[in-house]
Every structure is written in C-alpha cells, then in structure tokens.
Amino acid sequence: MLKCRDLLKQGIWWKLGRGDKMTLWFDNWMDNCNLIDLLNIQAKSIIDPNATVGDFINHNKSWNVAKLNQVVHTIL
C-alpha cells in the first residue's frame, strides 16, 4: 500500500513546526508524492481536503493516531 514503507520504518523526520502550513492530502510527503498518490485514493473521496498536518498532531507534538486512522479508514 505505501510505496515508501521501508523509509518510514527507518524513522524519517520532517520539521513541520505546528503543521498548519502543510496540507495533509496535497503536499508532498516523500519521493515527491502527496498522500493521495501514496495511498492510491481519489481526491474526490477526501472528506476534508483543507485538513493540515497540524490537525492531526496532539499538544505534546505526537501524532493523533486515532484521528488519522479514523480519517484514512473512512476513505479506504
């Protein structure tokens, strides 16, 4: 499903700050691909196309995995 899964497992890091300037779906994540391409989904199936990465980060700067799972599983 993810073309770059091995890179993720190695622990690639991006410095995003608050994440409010990077869109979750349409900005490139790795290998010059956005999340739509990485997950092979249709853009029209995105419930909130304006979601930013910051929408999925907790106050302690960790991923809100439950929220990510909910959104991704709704689409897939």
Q: Domain spans of the chain?
A: 5-75
Closest by CA position to 65, among listed 56, 74, 52? 56
Beta strands in 1-76 (DSSP E): 28-30, 33-34
* Measured distance CA(76)–CA(62) in Å, rounded: 23
Looking at residue 1, its pLDDT comes to 47
Q: How does pLDDT run along the chain (76 residues), one tens digit per residue?
A: 456 667 666 766 666 677 888 899 999 877 788 989 888 889 898 989 999 999 999 999 888 999 988 888 777 6
* Measured distance CA(17)–CA(31) in Å, rounded: 21
pTM of the model: 0.71
Run of H or E including 38 = helix 35-39
Looking at residue 4, its pLDDT comes to 66
Looking at residue 67, its pLDDT comes to 93
23 within 8 A of 48, measured Cβ to Cβ: no
